[in-house]
Structure 1
């Protein structure tokens, strides 16, 4: 049998995009930092998002049945840290500039890309909920200026640390 620690150590070597996943409903806006996000299919456009059932905002995602996946750029490391911290939801959303699309889930205006989704199905797998999310809106982030630190680079997580990929070479 594989021990949980061995599995976590092995998974730390799987490079993943860093995302902030958000929702909004009658109880306010909520969100968390996630690396367990992936495409399922493009027909219909569907994402899979995993969330720990013990997360304090879990019930809000279940109740709202909507979420947005905000793919973070290299300059968003402070936002990732805020949404992974013990800060209250209100303090988390003080980081960055937010808007909405179709569902009302918060969209980070300068995310590399944001996917606005309706949660169509929820499966319980061990400690996590797996959300099957129909994409109903897409927003490409504001254009980056050459002066902005980390412009156009993706924030990824590998070996328990942040890294940047996608640097654009200038001639």
Structure 2
């Protein structure tokens, strides 16, 4: 069985919408972060999610088994921040924007994020061009003030805030 062409696969994957996240590790003094949409839940017992990171990313070396991994789910007004963290800027320049704190693991937490999953990396699996990092959740935080930011068909879209 032949695999689809890479370009056809990418074009079709563009139709699979996803939340936009800033993934962080390190500490507030030495932060590392990148923008990702390849994030999903694995199981709720124990609460675990996965994050995919391109193996050529300069952020990759900072992520290793046992280290912190924080998923900061972006709010609709944070589209510029998503682009900022996807750019060739230095880590210092990236973290100059937003308000940052930490939770249990010490990884940088974006205070304005819609949701935060503060995790420890339990396993990293190398698959093709990407590292798949599994994070066991140590702490959670969520805010209902803004809608979410989605990436679909190669562009950003906003979702409305939750209504009571």
Query: Structures share a fold, TM > 0.5?
Result: yes
Alpha-carbon separation, structure 2, partners of 1:58 and 1:165: 30
In the superposition, the TM-score normalised over structure 2's length comes to: 0.93
Residues 5-55 of structure 1 show CA distances to partners (whole Å, capped at 9, x for unaligned) of: 110000001111000000015992110000000001111000011101100
Q: Which residue of 2 aligns with 1:12?
A: 14
CA shift for structure 1 position 166: 2.4
Q: Which residue of 2 aligns with 1:99?
A: 101
In the superposition, the TM-score normalised over structure 1's length comes to: 0.89
Alpha-carbon separation, structure 1, partners of 2:16 and 2:123: 26
Alpha-carbon separation, structure 2, partners of 1:6 and 1:165: 27
CA shift for structure 1 position 58: 0.1
How many residues get paired? 162
Unaligned runs of 5+ in 1: 145-151
Contact 1:25 1:64 in 2 (8 A): no
CA shift for structure 1 position 139: 1.6
1:164 aligns with 2:158: yes
1:113 aligns with 2:115: yes
